[in-house]
Amino acid sequence: MGSRTVFSRATRSSLCTLVLALAVASGAFANPSNKWRVEMDGRAKVDGEIELSLTPEGGPSSTVVIAIPKGTGENSVARLTRDALRQHFGKDVYHVEVDDGEDVLVKKRGSTRDFDLVVVRNTVDGLRIHLQRE
């Protein structure tokens, strides 16, 4: 019988993150939009971070890291995300708002190019994040 290699959940997660990051860097999954919805679901069981990457068509990526304290619910995570994106980009590049309490809408402004939005990492156990092009 052949041997079977077993990877821990953390190792599988790290490998998936690495593969996704490489794919994003190479443009393999590039599908820009003028507006994105970031849906938050759950509550933080531990302190952690969310790292988002925004990449305008033909431009360099910008990453934003959001610290999420233990016990933070989805509505508060949405507000923290909105505030971090506004602080990083200012008001001239993207319009960022909370929608339905737990969602964050990110929309390009003016002549800003369509962009990709990717969750690079989410270390917040108990919090799920779903991205949707609008």
Map out the domains of the chain with their CATH numbers: 31-133 (2.60.40)
Question: Residue 87 and residue 64: Cα distance in Å, rounded?
Answer: 10
List strand residue ranges (DSSP E) for 57-93, in order. Answer: 62-68
In tens, the pLDDT along 20-35 reads 555 555 445 578 999 9
Pairing of strands 35-42, 127-133: antiparallel
DSSP-derived letter for residue 82 is H
In tens, the pLDDT along 74-95 reads 999 999 999 999 999 999 999 9
The set of residues, in sequence order, having a beta carbon less than 8 Å from that of 20 and lying 6+ positions away, is 118, 120
The answer to whether the pTM exceeds 0.75 is yes
Percent of the chain residues past pLDDT 90, beyond the cut: 76
